[in-house]
């Protein structure tokens, strides 16, 4: 049996592609798909650490596969794909989940702005509202965790890019996505 980060990342990439396909056509259990995507998302930091321990010659292909995983997760975990069964929960959102949601949603808003999708005024309003959430989560202790702090900083860059009308710099993740789509 094959093991190691390369095979784990490749297996996860195949799994999230399958989950994305199910989400697109509406097959499978939406709640299970959502929860599995959240589990996979929580493994991303440890996978990044595993990549860092690999030979430099493997970094690019592993980072590309991880980027594909992230792209699929952004779609699967988008608010519009959240199962209604999960919406009914009265429990407050855990800080880690809020950080991941803000991280995803900020990228979606920035992509929409960069591609000219939708109304820039509407995207600006969404960015301002999400930035308010970001500040609330940051003051709730998310900045105590370096990975959560990195995610919030990246989200802040993309939200500032949108709220400035494209005059401020955006994150490298947005630059990477824009470059790969050209």
pLDDT in tens, 77-133: 776 677 777 765 545 567 788 888 899 889 888 888 888 865 678 888 889 988 988
d(CA 72, CA 10): 13
> Which of 87, 111, 140 marks a domain boundary?
87
Q: Which residues contact 28 (CB under 8 A, 6 or more apart)?
A: 19, 22
Give the total number of structural domains in the chain: 2
> How many Å separate Cα 94 from the centre of its chain?
16
**Are 164 and 124 in a shared domain?**
yes
Predicted local distance difference test score (pLDDT) of residue 1: 44
Helical residues (DSSP H) of the chain, grouped into ranges: 5-25, 30-52, 56-76, 84-87, 95-115, 120-139, 146-163, 172-181
Specify the pTM. Answer: 0.51
Q: Which of 32, 54, 87 is the last residue of a domain?
A: 87
* 48 and 120 belong to one structural domain: no
Residue 112: how many other CB atoms lie within 10 Å: 18
Q: What is the dihedral of CA 164, 169, 172, 174, to 10 degrees?
A: 30
What integer pLDDT is reported at residue 69 of this predicted model?
87
pLDDT band at 181; cut points 50, 70, 90: low
pLDDT tens, residue by residue, 137-150 = 888 776 677 888 89
Q: Does 40 lie in the same domain as 10?
A: yes
Print the domain residue range for 122: 95-181
Decide which of 61, 87, 113 is a domain's last residue: 87
Which residue bears the tokens 């996979």?
40
55: left (phi over 0), alpha (psi -120 to 50) or beta: beta
Residue 64: both structure tokens together: 């590309």
Q: In terms of domains, do 82 and 155 share one? A: no
Same domain, 99 and 82: no
158: three-class secondary structure by DSSP: helix
Same domain, 82 and 129: no
């Amino acid at each position: 049996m094959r093991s190691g980060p390369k095979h784990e990342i490749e297996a996860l990439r195949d799994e999230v592609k399958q989950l994305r396909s199910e989400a697109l056509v509406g097959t499978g259990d939406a709640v299970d798909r959502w929860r599995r995507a959240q589990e996979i998302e929580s493994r991303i930091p440890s996978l990044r650490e595993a990549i860092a321990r690999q030979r430099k010659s493997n970094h690019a292909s592993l980072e590309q596969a991880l980027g594909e995983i992230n792209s699929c997760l952004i779609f699967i975990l988008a608010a519009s794909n959240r199962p209604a069964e999960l919406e009914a929960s009265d429990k407050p959102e855990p800080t880690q989940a809020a950080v991941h949601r803000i991280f995803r949603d900020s990228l979606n808003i920035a992509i929409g702005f960069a591609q000219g999708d939708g109304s820039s005024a509407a995207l600006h309003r969404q960015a301002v509202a999400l930035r308010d959430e970001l500040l609330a989560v940051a003051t709730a202790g998310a900045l105590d965790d370096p990975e959560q702090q990195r995610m919030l900083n990246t989200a802040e860059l993309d939200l500032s890019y949108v709220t400035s009308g494209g005059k401020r710099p955006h994150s490298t993740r947005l630059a990477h996505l824009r470059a790969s789509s050209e």
